[in-house]
Amino acid sequence: MVAAICYVWLLENRMKADKERGDGDRSSFELIIPVMNTRREKMWKQRQVAWLFEHVGLDATALFFSNEVDLETLMMAKKLSMLVVSEDILRTNSEYKLLCLFIASLAGILLDTQNLNLSPKLSVTRDAEAVQLLLGGLAPNYRNTLFDQLMQDLIDNSFLEFCATAMGSPSAKVSWFSF
């Protein structure tokens, strides 16, 4: 999700720069939007992404999810071109797309709260090492502090209100502490 949003932002800015330089077709109109490849209600299982959206001020109600856009009809009418932003696509294309993958990977590592937990059984060694590198230069106990803060944020009322507004009611199967 983070990679898709970053990629759309980069494409939009590239198109804008091309038009300002006169490289783009000024008469054409293109709209680039990220469509999250999941249903909105499944975001309750993606708490870390919802937390990130809230903390960066992204209005998750403004995002489109796969169950909210009739992609098939748009594709049949040739009013849509689609690019699935995934690791495979990003690796085979240009450098700025690699930045999206890099940002998404870092966000995933940091937002996977188990990587911040000191228990060696809960995180993959390479992710734990990446977290240490990312937190380099910070106070030695910041990893614990950040883990505690993220865990507290997940049960904070304002976060739960944000999730309810952006994603609707949670299903009964959602467990807040099953990572």
Phi and psi dihedrals of 33, rounded to 5? -135, 145
The string over 115-128, giving b where at least 16 C-beta atoms fall within 10 Å of a residue's C-beta and e elsewhere, is: bbbeeeeebeeebb
- Single out the residue of 149, 159, 150, 138 nearest to residue 179, CA to CA: 150
**Per-residue confidence (pLDDT) for residue 126, from 0 to 100:** 63
More confident position, 165 or 98? 165
Cβ pair 123, 114 in contact under 8 A: yes
More confident position, 123 or 16? 16
pTM of the model: 0.49
SS3 64: strand
Give pLDDT tens digits for 77-122.
888 777 776 555 544 555 555 555 566 566 665 555 555 565 656 6
Give pLDDT tens digits for 37-74.
888 888 777 777 777 777 777 887 888 888 888 888 88
Cβ pair 121, 59 in contact under 8 A: no
Residue 36 pairs in a beta bridge with 65
User: Residue 179: which pLDDT band, with cuts at 50, 70 and 90?
Assistant: very low
